[in-house]
Chains A and B, each alone.
Chain A
Amino acid sequence: MTSVSQAGDQSGHRRANRTAALREVFASWVLCGPAVVLYVVFIVLPAILGFAYSLTDWTGWTRSPTYVGLANFRELLGDTRFLAAVKFTLFETLLLVLFFTFGAMALAVLLDRLRRLKGLIRALFFYPYILSILVSALLFQYLANYREGAVNTILRSIGLAAAAQDWMGDPGLVPYFIFALVAWSGLGFFSTLYLAALQTVPSELYEAAAIDGAGPLSVFARIQFPMLIPALTTNSVLALITGVNLFSQIVVTTQGGPGYRTFTVGYYIYWLGVLNNRQGYASAVSFVTFAALVGVAAVQVALLRWKAVQL
């Protein structure tokens, strides 16, 4: 009798467990399903299709691309314009990674030390980030115009007409013009990430440092910097992605010019696929870039995590 009752109890438990599990599965699908579907439809599927198109000569005008095997990838091996775009992109990325990793950190530490108007000043630094990229880029384009731009107008008005430059047209200056635009737009965001990390530093550490007579530099080197390492990892990866994905700013301001001087990889893909109707080849370039970016990001994260453990 006892064993029958136990068996019944076990069966009831199993049923109840199964129902609970079913409910959980159903709830998870209801809650996550739409997001998963949207992710699959708009991210995963296009990525798979993109790779499929990279094996074709699709122009974008037809619905029946021709399969060309690995021809696009072979062409990419000898593509000097792609190499130039990679070089320019890496140069911009290097500047941005350094600036968003260390410049933003310095700014965050300074902002954190503010005692007055803290909120207002932080908001002013963050403000450019909430502007759309289009607005920021157009603003910089107006600023940089040789004849009527604000920069040259100011220079002329203070008697420095000789210093007026074609900021977007001079090949020696234009890389820094692009950098300045992206740096101005993103500085607030990257420094806010550091500021958030600084708020997690226990106040006891500062108190102990004060008792020990540590100066600001020592506090930064021994307390703040080690605590900022996780944010540094995040920022450097995000800065890397910002640099490698540099595109919108180029389209709005220089359109790759003057000539071919500011072709980033992103703009080159657009130029090939959209302006030259070489969607197949552009897909191949995209795929290779994507693979390279994943590899670089993985190495970067691994190195920074290892460094964080060391510290």
Chain B
Amino acid sequence: MNRLTQWSAAVVAGLGLAASLAGCGGTDEGAKTIHVTRNIGGREGFRRHFEAWKARFEKANPGWTMELIDLGNAEGEQYYKSRIATGDLPEVVMTWQLTNFLADGGHLVPLPDEFYEKVGLPLPPPYKGKRYTSQSGMQIQGIVVNKRMWADAGVTEPPTTWDDFVAALKEVKARGYAPLVYGGREWSAGQPLFYAIATNLYDLQPDPSKPSWTKRMDTGQVHFASDPLARRILERMIELVDNFVVKGALSDGYNEEQRDFYGGKGATWMMGCWLGGDIEPNKVDFEMEYWPIPSMTDRPPKFVLTSGMQNGWAITTSAKGEKLAKAQAVLDAFYEPQVYQLFLNGESQFREARKIPIEGPKSPWPPAQRLYDNMAANLAKYGTTVGFHIGLEDMPPPAFTMTLARVMQEILSGNRDVDRLLQMMDDDWASARKGM
């Protein structure tokens, strides 16, 4: 009876396992489809670009299809982890800040230097000696202003120092305008703190001969809690919140910030250049300018360049045999001029692939085009810093980005204990580093 019990248990267990695991794992090796991830969500510009990209690939590769896996507003982390667990990562994935995790897990296929040279892309800093991702456009982060409101306050040129910036915001406020659109609910809450750290705590031009702030932090030479400049930055953030952020900001997120700024209800928005891609769809009809980030340390103002690292699309180890060649063809199709132009339009980015005859984003909507022109002019005039995005091996842990938002939330909710806030940054950095 024992034997029968064992056998029947084994049979039932086997059947149950087979039933529960049916359909899990494995990719459809035979299908002539390359799956590509993208965070389109409701962004019309992104959709237009993807459709053109897909059409270009399918025209150049008859019989093959390029299938979109839309990650919505997410950045793929959970989706990728699930697909890794089930062994069916899409053949081409957008990596964002996840490149090193995917590479460390052995899920990415390195790209040869010729891939970059072919279209004139500057070689991104390697990760453990290899490069994995396509590079798309030049993404900068700065401050967009409502030109009329700032002109009413007598300011027509970007403030150079943080003190000038604060004084100008006070003038804007005195004219009856909301000086700043700012929401504290989500990631965008961290933008001012990110700007301040990237342009003040880090060298404007990283010196390869000396360790960056990140490296010194990782080796215990510096800490936020004991750094006078970090303390000053937080004090200035408290000043910003106390003077220019309205009650209830913690209820608002990126969408509310965008709605307020585009609705003409606020004079200033600290946001990345991608905001330009939404001007035409939202029919924003006032004049805007894009200004660099003023310095707290008597440095020249700069935009922060956040596209220098490897963070584009990468081929995964799911692409084998013929699929590997076709996954490569997907990346190549991205740089077809019409496709590339649509990408730059959707993201409001500038050209990185120098051999492609495209300069930057274009729009038939005059306020959008004038903002693009102003961005280009100010980019040339003020230049960029990579801030803390020096390389995948030389940057804060990716999760630290959300720490910046949480610390700003703490300030918004009344925490004025600078020591405690700095300690939170140290603690989060240390914890997140252990997850790498």
A→B interface (CB under 8 Å): 18, 21-22, 25-26, 29-30, 33-34, 36-38, 40-42, 57, 59-63, 80-81, 144-147, 149, 166, 168-171, 255-261, 272, 274-278, 281
Contacts and interface: CB of A to CB of B under 8 A. Distances in A.
B252 A147 contact: yes
A277 B399 contact: yes
A21 B104 CA distance: 55
Contacts of A278: 431, 434-435
Nearest to A171: B413
Interface stretch (B7-15, B29-37, B300-308): B7-15
B71 interface: no
Contact of A29 (B12, B249, B431): B12
Contacts of A18: 1
A38 B20 contact: yes
B435 A166 contact: no
A257 B251 contact: no
A64 B9 CA distance: 31
Contact of A25 (B4, B406, B413, B414): B4
Nearest to A60: B81
B436 A257 contact: no
B251 A147 contact: yes
B17 A170 contact: no
Given A59-B101, A257-B406, A276-B435, A29 B8 contact: yes
A148 B185 CA distance: 15
Given A22-B1, A171-B413, A261-B413, A166 B17 contact: no
B5 interface: yes
Interface residues of B, number: 50
B434 A281 contact: yes
> Which 3 pairs, one residue from A and one from B, show the smallest C-beta to C-beta distance?
A169-B250, A146-B248, A37-B16
B424 interface: yes
B179 interface: no
B1 A61 contact: no
Contacts of A29: 5, 8-9, 12
A149 B250 CA distance: 13
Contact of A166 (B4, B102, B250): B250
B405 to A, nearest CB: 8
B402 interface: yes
Interface in B249-263: 249-252, 256
B239 to A, nearest CB: 18
Contacts, number: 136
Contacts of B102: 61
Contacts of B8: 25-26, 29, 33
B13 A258 contact: no
A146 B427 CA distance: 31
A145 B325 CA distance: 51
Interface string B253-282: 000100000000000000000000000000
Contacts of B209: none
Nearest to B250: A169
A42 B104 CA distance: 28
B412 interface: yes
Contacts of B247: 146, 166
B186 to A, nearest CB: 8
Contacts of A60: 81
A30 B16 CA distance: 11
A194 to B, nearest CB: 36
Contacts of B185: 257
A275 B402 contact: yes
B275 to A, nearest CB: 21
Interface centre among B1, B77, B435 (most CB of A within 10 A): B435
Contacts of B414: 171
A173 to B, nearest CB: 10
Contacts of A62: 104-106
A169 B410 CA distance: 10
Interface in B374-402: 397, 399, 402
B248 A81 contact: no
A168 B250 contact: yes
A63 B107 CA distance: 11
B251 A168 contact: yes
Nearest to A75: B434
B407 interface: yes
Nearest to A21: B1
Contacts of A281: 434-435
B435 A274 contact: no
Given A34-B12, A81-B427, A277-B101, A260 B406 contact: yes
A245 B58 CA distance: 49
A60 B106 CA distance: 13
Given A37-B20, A261-B413, A22 B4 contact: yes
A219 B5 CA distance: 54
B243 interface: no
A100 B8 CA distance: 44
A274 B402 CA distance: 13
A146 B251 contact: yes
A259 B410 contact: yes
